Structure 1
Amino acid sequence: MTSASMRTVQASTAPVLEIEGLSIELPAGADRSHAAKNLDIRIYPGQTTCIVGESGSGKSLAALATMRLLPEGVRMSGGAIRLNGQNLAALTEAQMRGVRGRDIGMIFQEPLTALNPVMRIGDQIREVLEVHGQGSRASRTAKAMELITEVGLPEPARIIRAFPHELSGGQRQRVVIAMALALEPRLLIADEPTTALDVTTQAQILKLIADLRERHHMAVMFITHDFGVVREIADRVIVMRHGERVEEGSAREVLGNPQHAYTRQLLDAVPTMVPPPARRLPEEEALVVSNLNKTYGQRQMFAAKRTVHAVSDVSFAIRRGETLGLVGESGSGKSTVGRCVIRLIEPDTGTIRVGDLQIDNLSLRELRPQRRRVQMVFQDPFGSLDQRRTVGASISEGMIANGASTAQARARSIELLELVGLQPAAVDRYPHEFSGGQRQRVGIARALALNPDVLIADEAVSALDVSVQYQVLQLLREVQARMGLAILFVTHDLRVAAQMCDRIAVMQKGKLVELQDTRDLLSSPRHAYTKALLASVPGHDMMPLREAARVVAEEAA
């Protein structure tokens, strides 16, 4: 929608959603008193308004306040929320249950937790209609089939009888969208609906939401921290920080000429598809993987055993000080490769050599003292850290197991925490006392504790805000330069790979289909699948100020 048409919409129609002076009070002991303070938002029919900000900015709680689903201890302390002129705060809970689903649909970030794991897909869609007294069972089934078809799911007759675990992440997200649209609401709230999806699935979901908005003339509140997504889908943008709106305008105005320093900071942290200059690297190989294979046999209820070739004849090498990106869609086998390299999963065949040591043929007893040579940073630092132990104890554990005294391990833990940008006092704190970005720094410190030759980063920044992501990537580069680490960087985000990796290997259905220097792969991809991945990257043509300045400097040189 152009800026001119947007002005026409706002002048000629009333907003579907009008939030005025919204204040949301946090419980005692929180890091601040309010999640939102004096917040104003207006969203019009046929318009997508993106609310952007880092974790803790209040954007998701503003959406939950609209749904009257604020968590216990958090309350709306001021302002008004009107849907089609009706004050939602004045409704009883019974009246509000009638509004949810019928007038407001919501798409949550994680579809697997939003769906009931023991109910078939068709039953869950029918339930939305049944709760609101819509039609007979036969008509509800017909409507469910219609919705499954509308959101582009294949084989509707199979999908309607499937359970959530039998679908892919993208398919589950389409089911959640179908449920949100079942009663044709006037307002659709999408809370980070594409964050965990690979680029091709993400592009499909964004296009689906845009098409459905046009088809149903809905108002869409789209919550995200990804400015690439904003570039693809937004008509208007609201930037939030610490519960306050710091900037608002059309997508073109905010992305092209940001006025607030915080907006400029966020945009400047967005990784782009312009890679940094190539580095000179030593010829010494830190990791060599040859002809790696891994096959899974899956038994399915009422069906024959299914064989999945997760990794098929994959070979690559990483030099000391080099970062090799391993990219591809979910299910491509990239994480399986990383876990086979560290032998968290045992490969079927193939050789794995770290420096001059072949580790694939070692027994578990022989492997134990060699595990220090290959360490891993996991995607979810909260899940990978023991919540009952201090971070100092988690970092020290490997060192103590390898012969260090408790005092030596603690002193080294403090050094590592300082190396990753945390204070020495953090050694005695627990994981829940840190932010997501800080926990990931702890995960990196733990991985570095045994001075590894190879570091495997498995989606290590995919769940982080852009500014925190930028900081963690900078940290990895600095640590790599200081320690000469070889890094296998597993990611589905090609923008991050472009900034972080010296070379990129592309995987599809377990096979390595292309491997090139980063700049060559991005400018001249050879394989059709690589071209499709690059074309699907949201906002791939965005260039923040720091990138534009660097390109100009390179061209001048």
Structure 2
Amino acid sequence: MDQALTPPGVAVAVRDLRLALPHGGDRPNAVDGVSFDLLAGEILCLVGESGSGKSMCAHALMGLLPKAVTVAGGSIRLGQTDLLAQDAAGWRDTRGRRIAMVFQEPMTALNPLMRIGDQMAEMFEAHGLLTPRERRARAVALAREVGLPDPEGIVRAYPHQLSGGQRQRAMIAMALALEPAILVADEPTTALDVTTQAQILKLIRDLQRRRNMAVLFITHDFGVVTDIADRVLVLRQGRVVEEGPAAAVLGAPREAYTQALLAAVPAMNPPARPAPDGPKTIEVAGLSKTYVTGGGWWRAPRTVAAARDVSFALRRGETLGLVGESGSGKSSVARLVMRLIEPDLGTVRLGDTDLTRLNGEGLRQARSRIQMVFQDPFASLNPRRTVGQIITDGPVAHGVSRFDAMERAVRLLALVGLDARALERFPHEFSGGQRQRIGIARALALEPEVLVADEAVSALDVSVQAQVLTLLEDLKARFGLSMLFITHDLRVAAQICDRIAVMRRGEIVELKTAAELFANPEHPYTRDLLAAVPGRARDAA
């Protein structure tokens, strides 16, 4: 058999792939001797922790490696073509036509200045296919195929006018435009809520079967792997640790690393927790906020109720979870509680203080008692300031001496598992999990009574996520913190929350202890959310 051809039934053959990191990296190769076959008509999941090399493999298949990463050896064969030996013209012909990619964050992958239909039509134009009229008709047909509502209207819309799930469907439509044989999906559902995630996973599976595509699916979510994978390839520090049919790898993993990854996945059975009986630290009553957008000479303004008569109390030492789909209002409530946005109605009491009545210096002083940990620590940490400056700025602004603030920063870094050498480094020098630990240290520097965590672990892989959740639990017990925990991941909510409030369209539709909510959900919306959690079948087994 001609060794230059991929074997029969194999869509892509990767052999001894080695991708070199620049000098000074944490290891010589991002990918070190990886070999695998992606079979025609199958879904192969690449899984592993952040930095395992799974996304680098995907980008190598697309010829989209960062400039600092170089191919040090190996081959990627697609039919008679070694993709790694192609020139720029060869890659232009390959991308979209033979192999296409769906990225993790469609808002950054889509052009914000172009209508959705024009971006779909651009695929045909780049390859010299179809007339302008035919391109427009094909864009509408693609929008319809991926289940977008009102396809004729969607193709005239801009990306910001679509929801997250709709933007991801548009990205999938663009990837399928030229009917490629291979689809690479790099964490395409990580940022989506559970119901939208379930819809996108079903869409990818249905399209894959309908078109008999090969799909390389990159994810750190083992629930997703359970629902979608035919085979699984586990990577660790650039090397293959384990490979096999999904049922075998998930049900009886051979390697200790795979076993540890699976053990880190939060279970759907909340642990028994004593009911917090401390004093109320936060009391929210009748909180409402309506956004008014658009409008003009010919259009009425659009109103969106981000919060409708929201009421709850948070006790000392308690973690209250806010869960719901994107757009349910949970992050808006967190920002209302922090006074980052102004409520239309209602009150937020922090102990005896009504935060909604404070302004100026009074509000600034009160904010030292309630601090926030954001979803993306890279975006919320100033890249031009050292970790030491980032952690000490808050205390210094509230009258703590620079010396005392730095001593406090050293203690906090030790508490979150980092040593004092981190003080002189910048955020980009840390991993995602380490940056989130720095964000937690910054939030604790003002010794707050309440911590608001807004999707604080949603972007982390399962092992780092487990470490951060354990850290938050330990810190809460150590300092007697109350925590308002916003998440779309019900597995995470089950593990860390004492009580859970389910939000839908700005309203709390159900509020119970975590154990009661998972054992006996009463509202139909809560039952739908729980049913949509990926990997439920594996939990039941």
Corresponding residue of 1:116 = 111
Would you say 1:71 and 2:66 are equivalent positions? yes
Would you say 1:155 and 2:150 are equivalent positions? yes
Corresponding residue of 1:195 = 190
Q: Is the 8 A contact 2:19 2:31 kept in 1?
A: yes
Would you say 1:273 and 2:268 are equivalent positions? yes
Would you say 1:393 and 2:389 are equivalent positions? yes
Question: Which residue, out of 379, 401, 404, partners 1:405?
Answer: 401
State the distance in 2 between where 1:395 and 1:92 align.
47
State the distance in 2 between where 1:128 and 1:98 align.
11
Corresponding residue of 2:162 = 167
Trace 1:130-529 onto structure 2 (pairs within 5 A): 130-300=125-295, 303-529=299-525
Matched to 1:522, the amino acid is F
Shift of 1:85: 3.8
Corresponding residue of 2:4 = none
State the distance in 2 between where 1:85 and 1:48 align.
22
TM-aligned CA distance change 1:146 to 1:316, over 3 Å: same
Question: What is the TM-score with the length of structure 2 in the denominator?
Answer: 0.97
Matched to 1:305, the amino acid is P
Q: Is the 8 A contact 1:506 1:530 kept in 2?
A: yes
Would you say 1:40 and 2:35 are equivalent positions? yes
Match of 1:290, SS state, is strand
Could you list the per-position Cα deviations for residues 356-405 of structure 1 after superposition, in whole angstroms to 9, with x for gaps in the alignment?
22221122322111111111101111111111111111111121122211
Match of 1:16, SS state, is strand
State the distance in 1 between where 2:409 and 2:68 align.
36
State the distance in 2 between where 1:22 and 1:431 align.
30
Question: Which residue, out of 80, 89, 107, partners 2:84?
Answer: 89
Match of 2:207, SS state, is helix
State the distance in 1 between where 2:118 and 2:398 align.
54
Matched to 1:423, the amino acid is D
Q: How many residues align?
A: 534
State the distance in 2 between where 1:80 and 1:402 align.
58
Q: Which moved more, 1:497-506 or 1:387-396?
A: 387-396
Could you list the per-position Cα deviations for residues 254-280 of structure 1 after superposition, in whole angstroms to 9, with x for gaps in the alignment?
000111111111111111111111224
Unaligned runs of 5+ in 2: 1-6
Matched to 2:200, the amino acid is I
Corresponding residue of 2:11 = 16
Match of 1:135, SS state, is coil
State the distance in 2 between where 1:478 and 1:91 align.
52
Shift of 1:238: 0.2
Shift of 1:237: 0.2
Shift of 1:179: 0.5
Could you list the per-position Cα deviations for residues 175-216 of structure 1 after superposition, in whole angstroms to 9, with x for gaps in the alignment?
110010011111000000000011111000000000000000
Match of 2:536, SS state, is coil
State the distance in 2 between where 1:475 and 1:332 align.
28
Corresponding residue of 1:551 = none
Unaligned runs of 5+ in 1: 1-11, 549-557
Shift of 1:304: 2.1
Matched to 2:355, the amino acid is I
Shift of 1:50: 0.1
State the distance in 2 between where 1:398 and 1:539 align.
42
State the distance in 2 between where 1:116 and 1:342 align.
33
State the distance in 2 between where 1:79 and 1:429 align.
35
State the distance in 2 between where 1:421 and 1:89 align.
41
State the distance in 1 between where 2:233 and 2:370 align.
43
State the distance in 1 between where 2:397 and 2:466 align.
33
Shift of 1:314: 0.2
State the distance in 1 between where 2:451 and 2:319 align.
9
Corresponding residue of 1:535 = 531
Matched to 1:39, the amino acid is V
Q: Is the 8 A contact 1:272 1:542 kept in 2?
A: no
TM-aligned CA distance change 1:391 to 1:90, over 3 Å: closer
Q: Is the 8 A contact 1:385 1:431 kept in 2?
A: yes
Could you list the per-position Cα deviations for residues 328-360 of structure 1 after superposition, in whole angstroms to 9, with x for gaps in the alignment?
111111011111111011111111111222221
Shift of 1:68: 1.4
Shift of 1:97: 0.8
Match of 2:169, SS state, is helix
State the distance in 1 between where 2:362 and 2:84 align.
65
Match of 2:10, SS state, is coil
Q: RMSD across aligned C-alpha pairs, in angstroms?
A: 1.4
Matched to 2:391, the amino acid is I
Question: What is the TM-score with the length of structure 1 in the denominator?
Answer: 0.94
Match of 1:73, SS state, is coil
State the distance in 2 between where 1:136 and 1:387 align.
47
Q: Is the 8 A contact 2:319 2:485 kept in 1?
A: yes
Q: Is the 8 A contact 1:13 1:44 kept in 2?
A: no
Shift of 1:102: 0.5
Matched to 1:494, the amino acid is L
State the distance in 2 between where 1:63 and 1:383 align.
25
Match of 1:147, SS state, is helix
Matched to 1:65, the amino acid is A
Q: Is the 8 A contact 2:143 2:151 kept in 1?
A: yes
Matched to 1:338, the amino acid is A
Match of 2:114, SS state, is coil
TM-aligned CA distance change 1:541 to 1:474, over 3 Å: farther
Could you list the per-position Cα deviations for residues 122-149 of structure 1 after superposition, in whole angstroms to 9, with x for gaps in the alignment?
1111110121122212222221111100
Q: Is the 8 A contact 1:272 1:540 kept in 2?
A: no
State the distance in 2 between where 1:543 and 1:143 align.
41
Q: Which moved more, 1:148-157 or 1:91-100?
A: 91-100
Matched to 1:519, the amino acid is A
Q: Percent identity?
A: 59
Q: Which moved more, 1:23-32 or 1:209-218?
A: 23-32
Q: Is the 8 A contact 2:51 2:237 kept in 1?
A: yes
Q: Is the 8 A contact 1:273 1:541 kept in 2?
A: no
Could you list the per-position Cα deviations for residues 485-543 of structure 1 after superposition, in whole angstroms to 9, with x for gaps in the alignment?
11000011101000010110000010111101101111111111111111111113445
Q: Which moved more, 1:247-256 or 1:54-63?
A: 54-63
State the distance in 2 between where 1:461 and 1:130 align.
41
Shift of 1:54: 1.1
Matched to 1:166, the amino acid is Q
